[in-house]
Amino acid sequence: MLKEEKGFKYIEKGEGTPLIILHGLMGGLSNFDKVINHFSKDFHVLMPELPVYTFPLLKTSVKGFAKYLDDFLKFKKIDKAILLGNSLGGHVALYYANKHPEKVEAIVLTGSSGLYEKGMGDTYPKRNNYEYIKKKAQEVFHDPKVATKELVDEIFRVVNDRMKVIRTLALAKSAIRHNMANELPHMDLPVCLIWGKNDNVTPPEVAEEFKKLLPDADLYWIDKCGHAPMMEHPEEFNRILEEWFKKRGFIKKEKENV
């Protein structure tokens, strides 16, 4: 499904209102498989691969990725879209919407950074310790089994690649620098917050703070769920989001009876 054109790698499926999915720092495109398949019946779903490890280091930031998103939308000739982001992807969505409010119809945030997040730490002192990395990966989820060997292996490869670690830390520091607390009250567009009650990275109080600061936000909880609800409870995530899209008129009433 992965397309490669004009320096962009992305997944594209469906027709209708553009729905742009933005993955997190350690998250791959496959994290959203079930979301893409579910919503491509109602939306033109696009998911660009963020250039976490290929961008020039000085542009490897929330601001740099927001510019990348703008370039991608221009390449696809999309004037206005709904943005859906997890973790760092949510932060990029917020930053972009703040800079280009005329280009964003709504935002969906799940486990988003932008206010506060707790990562693996400022350094990786135990990066050669596979069990340590495995434990850290498992802590992202409520059910540690969601952190498959394939996922842990990929994170282990990243944290043992010096240049990838440098870029990961650059992004983590950029996320801290670009705290959105002052901007959020001025972002008057529909926002759907879907949060895991057991999120250890962006804890529940972060979701409550987003709800308080954003003028037009709805907050939904998923129980026994960590930082990536669309991976850990994809059916529940899709159900909540579809109901919200109907409530807000993004899925038309006639679609409900199909």
- Give domain status of residue 169, yes or no: no
Report the CATH number that the domain containing residue 200 is assigned in CATH. Answer: 3.40.50.1820
Work out how many domains the chain is built from and give that number.
1
Q: What is the pLDDT of residue 252?
A: 84
Tokens representing 133? 């990395």
- Give domain status of residue 203, yes or no: yes
pLDDT at 127 over 60: yes
Q: What is the pLDDT of residue 255?
A: 46
Residue 171, C-beta contacts closer than 8 angstroms, at least 6 positions apart:
25, 52, 60, 61, 62, 88
What's the mean pLDDT when you consider all of the chain? 91
- Give domain status of residue 140, yes or no: no
Residue 21, C-beta contacts closer than 8 angstroms, at least 6 positions apart:
32, 35, 36, 45, 46, 47, 84, 85, 89
Q: What is the pLDDT of residues 43-69, one digit of tens each?
A: 999 999 999 989 998 899 999 999 999
Q: What is the pLDDT of residue 83?
A: 98
- Give domain status of residue 147, yes or no: no
pTM: 0.93
d(CA 46, CA 200): 28
Q: What is the pLDDT of residues 68-98, one digit of tens each?
A: 999 999 999 999 999 999 999 999 999 999 9
Lowest mean pLDDT among 78-87, 111-120, 134-143: 111-120
CB of 210 closer than 8 Å to CB of 179: no
- Give domain status of residue 57, yes or no: yes
Model confidence at 103, pLDDT cuts 50, 70, 90, reads very high
Closest to 234 (Cα-Cα) out of 103, 86, 123: 86
Q: What percent of the chain has pLDDT over 70?
A: 93
- 179 SS3 class: coil
> How far from the centroid of its chain's Cα atoms is residue 253's Cα?
28
Pairing between strand 43-48 and 8-13? antiparallel
Q: What percent of the chain has pLDDT over 90?
A: 73
Domain range for 95: 2-115+178-256
Tokens representing 77? 């000739």
Model confidence at 198, pLDDT cuts 50, 70, 90, reads very high
- Give domain status of residue 172, yes or no: no
Higher-pLDDT residue of 144 and 128 is 144
- Give domain status of residue 168, yes or no: no
Lowest mean pLDDT among 70-74, 158-162, 185-189: 158-162
pLDDT at 144 over 50: yes
Q: What is the pLDDT of residue 159?
A: 86
Alpha helical stretches, state H, the chain: 33-39, 62-75, 88-99, 130-138, 149-159, 162-177, 204-213, 229-232, 234-247, 253-256
- Give domain status of residue 63, yes or no: yes
Q: What is the pLDDT of residues 28-48, one digit of tens each?
A: 777 899 999 999 999 999 999
Q: What is the pLDDT of residue 119?
A: 58
pLDDT at 253 over 70: no
pLDDT at 102 over 70: yes
Pairing between strand 104-110 and 191-196? parallel
pLDDT at 139 over 50: yes
CB of 80 closer than 8 Å to CB of 40: no
Average pLDDT over residues 104-118: 92
